[in-house]
Structure formats: C-alpha cells, structure tokens
Structure 1
C-alpha cells in the first residue's frame, strides 16, 4: 500500500517535536511493506538543522513553502492508496488539507492525523468556521498522537467517522541505553522547546526546584529559552539534536517530563520524551496527568510530581541506586508493551480494513 504523508518534517526535529513519532511509526510501517512518501515544506530552518539523512525506508520530498510549491506535491496524492495530512505542519495547513484530499483518488483512504489533538479541538470549539469542521465528515477517519476517550468522543461530535489514538512509543533501534557521558551527568535534566502553553509549567516543575536545590545541578535543553532567567546551577544547552538524546537521557540521575497545558489537562497523551527516556533506561520524573498508569506504573517505573515542590522533594531523596532501578523497570516495560512495532501493527490493521471498506463502497 502506498502512503502519501504530508507533515511538518521527518528529517529534522528542530522546532518539531513530532519528528521521532513520525520516524518510529513510519519505519515500522515500511517494515510491513508500506511504500511511504513524506512531504515536508522548507520552513523554519528545519532543513538547516537536519538530524538524519533521507532514510532508505521512506522517500522524502521537500517542497517550497508557497502555494505553487504546494500545488506540485498535492498533485502526487493521486498516486497513493492512503493520503494522510498531519496537524501542525506550520505553513499553509488549511490549504494542504484541502488540496491533497481533493487530489486523492475516490478509492483512496483519506486520514487526518492529529499530533496535538487537545490544541486542535480547542481551536475547533472556538471557531465555528474552522476549515477542519467542514472537512472531517468527508474524511475516512482520524488518528491521533494521544488523548484517550475524551479526544475520541469530541472528534466524533465534530463529525469524524472514527477516531483512534495511536500513542507515542519506543523505537529501540534509535533510543536505547548508552554509557554515561560526563557532559550530561547532572542531577536532573529537562528537554523541551519553549512554547506558550508549556512555559508556566516549566517554570513550576523545573526552574523552581532548581532554585530550591542550589547544591544540585540541572541540565536544560530545548530551543527558545536563551533569555529565560535561570539559577546559577542550571546549564543551558539550547537545541539538542536527536543523535544526542540517548546520552542526554542515560547520563543524569533523573530526567524530567513536563507536558504542555492542554495535554496535561486532557490526559492520556504521553509525549515522545517519555518513551525516549524510558528506552534509554532513565529514571523519569513526570508531571501528573490522567492515564500515566496505562504506560508506566507510578512509583515503580516512573515518579510522578504534582508540582515543583514534589520534584524538589523527589530529587532530594532519590539515591543513584533507586534511580537506576526505576530506569531498569521502565526500560523493561516499554520494550514489552510500548514499541513502534506494536503501534504499527494497529495502524496496519486500521489501514487495511479501511481500504477494503472504501473499495467496496466505491464498487457499490
């Protein structure tokens, strides 16, 4: 089956948190025989900050982020058996959705793949004339990065034929334990880009504990935080390329996950960082959100903090031996239950059954 996938970027994680999600899932689908072309715009300097070369398991087409550039690649949707538009491309999003779905063959599956469902649904609630409202009933289904039953139910209210969460997971070929690297051997590390709906939570869960624990060392990665006030015990790295993620996660005593506001409120939305850290054998401390126990067991495989004071208390009382044991348990759990091979098996079932249903509908 041929898939035309229109997303933000497969080859660059620069201002693009979905990159490793795309890579893990699409590589696992390619291993199942899918022929995939990923179409991404040349935008936000992502091509200047590539993490990977074009992979051999997916064709990558980079197009000019202009209406003319879009027209060229939208026409190629007519060659695919499944046409996927992902959320959050960042440029011409509404135009991409309309153009590629208009070019898709009648028997092709038309999929909206939402990598930020809580934020998308908030936009749909606020704007009655949102283009996605009109498009949803005409599509064959919605796949989401997460969100659980609350997201599923709301997408159906907005007219989606079906909505199925395909959660983040681990690609053990990419994210795995590595030897400790001294440059990253701090007490607590956090990695995340600066976004409006994450900033206050980063202040609470990371910057506040750093101020409270001046004798501990904190490592701060992610783009956009250069001018953010930081205590003297914080080392700021800026953007951390995916090639350094294993060392970044495996070297500190603990690694912190901080969800964005909408994902924390909705729950059931583990970000890629959770599985990348667990896959490297890290001791993970996460902010509290509904559904964490579906992925990692609190107190056994992950430590859960309600606020910055909890983070400080956990870190102050956490021994290196305890941290290593939690990391080992987390690694066992994600390798057993949460790999992209498992997620791809579910997507394979969805696409094949949907394509067969669509073929029969067209023939009727």
Structure 2
C-alpha cells in the first residue's frame, strides 16, 4: 500500500482540556499511522492549551507548534510536499490557514469538521470564525462529523466536491471494561455548553432533585459558578482521558447530551457516546435523528425525553439487564465505530481524492494551453 504523507492542522492534539478534538485526533491518527502512513500535526500554541497539556510527545505522529500564521511558514515545505493536508474545525484563524493551505499544497486538501452542525449554523449567520463558504469548493474532501442529509447540503448548497461522514470514534485499547465499585447512579462527562445545559438540567439535575437518595456527578470544566447543584450531584472539574474508563466504570449509567445544532442536524454522535459504550457503561441519551443507526434503542442504548424517563430507568432496570445492554452496545461499537474503522475510511477517501486530482490536472492543463 502507498504510504501517505499527511499534515494535519487541528485545534489541539496536546491538550484534552475543555475540548473533544484532542481525543478524537489521538484515536484517529494513532490508527491512521498504524496503517503505515506518516503524520505531522501542527497545533497553534495558545496559552489555554499550553497550560493544560496532557500529551506532549505522542508516539504515533510528530507534533509541532506554531505561534502565528506567519510562523506557520516554517512548515511551508512540509505542507507543499504532503500528499494530503487536513485542516480541522475551530483552528485559530482557520479561514486564513485554509487559504494558505489551499494556495501552497501540491497534494489534496481536506477539511475535517468535528463540529459540522455548529459550523453550518455559523455560516448561516455570516460568522466565518474558522471556515468561509468560498473555501469549501476548494477543499477536495469535506470530512464531516455529521452524516445523513447534511452531506447532501454540503455538496449541493456549498459546493463541496466530496462530503464524507467521518464520525468520531474510540480507541478500544484506551477504553477497556474495568471492574470498579459503583460510585454514581448517573454520570455526565462534558465541558459546559450553554446549549447543552437545558438538557443537562432536564435529564440529570432535575432527576437529582427528585431522587435525593441517588448519586450523580457532572465532570468537565467551564461551568458557571452561579449554577446551583443539588447536594447529591458531585462536581469534578476535569477528568483526563486516561481516567475516563475508571470514571465510566464507576457509573451505573452515563448520560449523553447533544448540542442543539447537532440535534437539529441529526446524525451527529458525540465522542463520549463511543467511549462510554466501549467501556460497557449503559448510556441514557437525548433523542435525535440517526441515533438508531448507531445504537439500537432499548437494546444498546436508552433514550429519554423527561426527568421521569431517567428516574424510571435508574429505578426499574436490574443489574443483569443493565449489564446486557452495556455489553451489546460495546459489541456494536467495537464492530463498527473504532478508530481503526475511521482510519480506513479516511484513507480510502484521501486516496479517492488523490485519484480525482490526478485525473483533473491533465484536463486543467489542456484547457489552459
């Protein structure tokens, strides 16, 4: 198989603090390089992640930092000579970075959107924080966190030549089943988001108020100090990826909460969904189109609309039944949604883009002459 030289410009690989991008990139790129490819990851050196780094020297790719768009020029040759350059969502000065890459790269260029519904909502508002509409047609591939109808929208309205689903995933070796004493009846792991908070209120905080005898936990940074937590809700500011399996193993159930833009788009699974399932922890989730294509409701995942739905699940399911649901979810995820599956998919799409580029270049030269 041909070895690909790939440069990735992503939000962060070095720090998982306050973002899900790092764990997504880590799993994907570890599996991608295991397939024989070479990866250079370029990360903008910003104070927030610099002070919270939990992966300084990855063993699966090269990690380098740049301080500004001008400083990115130090990697001009690597970008120019790469077989593929991938720019991620939420990269600082992402529009200018994208233009630079599209101008300099000889190989194919791709956009990896780990936030597709949020991105599209921003574009609709004229908010071009890290992507502008006129960049999309010049990305040879648009890797999208969201599948389903959104892929057609990206191609038909925004002119993407190839929009392809590239969901988040999980590294099974990093997310095993562990035997731990149960500490919480329901857990939630996620950074604060204003548009997730109403769902968290409805599906965890309100159940906690109604059931003071049960134990809950919310783990993640950036929650406002003014939030009034019930006494039976434990708060943890940050759980590093290495501790996620232990966190899930101590949870009888864990909650999956989806951002509003992603609920509207559907087909937008969270990385936490895959990670918890890989650990065999039963998941209670909010509801959105396409979730049934990933995990079967009532067999591999539980869906809730109201606080009483959650309390019924917490109170009525036996340990054996709960364990069976978690085991079925784990089998499904390991069979279809590991980092290895995603790496193979990305590899195939990049090779297809390279073939298209090679076919199109002779035609472009003929027209120019």
- TM-score, normalisation: structure 1: 0.93
Q: Say if 2:137 and 2:161, in contact at 8 Å, map to a contact too.
A: yes
Q: How does 1:1-364 map to 2 (within 5 A)?
A: 1-64=4-67, 66-73=68-75, 76-89=78-91, 91-105=92-106, 108-127=107-126, 132-146=132-146, 148-156=147-155, 157-180=157-180, 182=181, 185-225=183-223, 227=225, 228-364=227-363
Return 5+ residue gaps in structure 2 as ranges: 364-369
Q: Does the 8 Å contact 1:74/1:96 carry over to 2?
A: no
Aligned residue pairs total 357
* Secondary structure of residue in 2 paired with 1:45: helix
Alignment root-mean-square deviation, CA: 1.8
2:366 aligned residue: none
1:134/1:221 Cα in 2 relative to 1: closer, same or farther (>3 Å)? same
- CA deviation digits over 1:135-192, x for unaligned, max 9? 112221201112x222112111111111011112221111111121x5x621111001
Distance across 1 between alignment mates of 2:341 and 2:69: 37
Per-residue deviation at 1:3?
A: 0.7
Distance 1:300 1:22 in 2: 29
Contact 2:10 / 2:87 at 8 angstroms: preserved in 1? yes
Task: Please identify runs of 4+ aligned residues in structure 1 that moved more than 6 A.
Answer: none
The SS at the match of 1:67 is coil
Q: What CA distance in whole angstroms lies between the structure 2 residues aligned with 1:74 and 1:153?
A: 33
**Does structure 2 retain, via aligned residues, the 8 Å contact 1:13–1:51?**
yes
Find the residue that maps to 1:52 and give its secondary structure. Answer: coil
> TM-score, normalised on structure 2?
0.92
Deviations 1:226-263 (A, max 9, x none): 51210000110111110110011112111111011111
Identify the residue that residue 367 of structure 2 maps to in structure 1. Answer: none
Determine the C-alpha separation between the residues in 2 that align with 1:42 and 1:2.
23
CA separation of 1:204 and 1:128: change in aligned 2, threshold 3 A: closer
Alpha-carbon shift at residue 300 of structure 1 (Å): 0.8
State how far apart, in whole Å, the 1-side matches of 2:93 and 2:343 are.
28
Contact 2:280/2:329, CA 8 A, preserved across alignment: yes
